[in-house]
Amino acid sequence: VLFPLAYPWFCLLLPGLWLLFKRTDVHLISKKMIVACLVCYLVFLGGIPHQNLRYLLPAYALLLLILFPAWDRMFAYGFYFFKRLTFAVVIVALSVQLIATVWILRPVVARNRLENSIATTLRDALPADATLYAFDLDVALKTYLPGMQILNLWERAYPSFSDDGYFLFNEPRLRQQWEGHNPMINWERANETRQLSEFRQLPDGWTLYRIKAAEK
């Protein structure tokens, strides 16, 4: 929950900003509202089961608004008393920050490429009106494949599955986190009540299965 408040790669100068922070920086009602929003949002993030670094982006923006007076104070004091040192520190911090930003964004970019790659494969391999059961990738796939009926495996435990539908899953990756929850319950029920035949191997361990009636 407190990750955005102290993680230096988000803002390398963050520890220094906290040292220059004053209570009067949140004296205005507007600043108090921002603090309240940040606290509520962090509590919300701490309570949801599915974590993602992208969820922290709004928290970073709110934190920067709160710490802006400290940032302004650092520049004013630094360039007045220690101009060369402050200039050097800012250049080094910005350089390291740029490298850290590129490094942190790598998983986000890789995820976007994975979603595009799988969506392209599904668009070419499946009928435009196919029924697809999916989890984790389903939100992105609904954007890329608007004509398909994409059913989320987290929302509920399905009592049955459509014959001639499709099942997109990554069992080794999802089992540890979602054992006993709807994604794994649906996966196990589909294997028990239907025949899942491998239809296409996809990147990063994902597999597309064809759902058929179980053999009697």
Residues 116 and 187 in one domain: yes
User: How many domains does the structure of the chain reveal?
Assistant: 2
Residues 62 and 142 in one domain: no
Find out whether 167 and 133 touch, Cβ atoms under 8 Å: yes
Residues 130 and 198 in one domain: yes
Q: Is residue 89 part of a domain?
A: no
- Quick check: 8 pLDDT over 70? no
- Quick check: 175 pLDDT over 70? yes
Residue 26 has a pLDDT of 87
Least confident of 66-70, 129-133, 171-175: 66-70
Q: pLDDT tier at 47 (50, 70, 90 boundaries)? A: confident
Q: Is residue 61 part of a domain?
A: yes
Q: Is residue 97 part of a domain?
A: no
What pairing do the DSSP bridges indicate for beta strands 166-169 and 131-134?
A: parallel
Residues 119 and 200 in one domain: yes
Q: Is residue 100 part of a domain?
A: no
Q: Is residue 71 part of a domain?
A: yes
- Quick check: 204 pLDDT over 70? yes
Residues 76 and 152 in one domain: no
Residues 29 and 119 in one domain: no
**% of the chain at pLDDT higher than 70:** 92
Residues 122 and 188 in one domain: yes
- Quick check: 123 pLDDT over 70? yes
Smallest CA-to-CA distance from 185 within 152, 154, 150 is with: 154
- Quick check: 117 pLDDT over 80? yes
Q: How far is 175 from 22, CA to CA, in rounded Å? A: 47
Find out whether 168 and 133 touch, Cβ atoms under 8 Å: yes
Residues 118 and 205 in one domain: yes
Q: Is residue 171 part of a domain?
A: yes
Our CA dihedral for 157, 162, 168, 172, rounded to 10 degrees, sits at 50
Residues 77 and 120 in one domain: no
- Using a cut of 0.85, tell me whether the model's pTM lies above it: no
Q: Is residue 90 part of a domain?
A: no
Residue 170 has a pLDDT of 96
Q: Is residue 147 part of a domain?
A: yes
- Structural domain of residue 171, as residue ranges? 111-213
Residues 129 and 208 in one domain: yes
Residue 77 has a pLDDT of 79
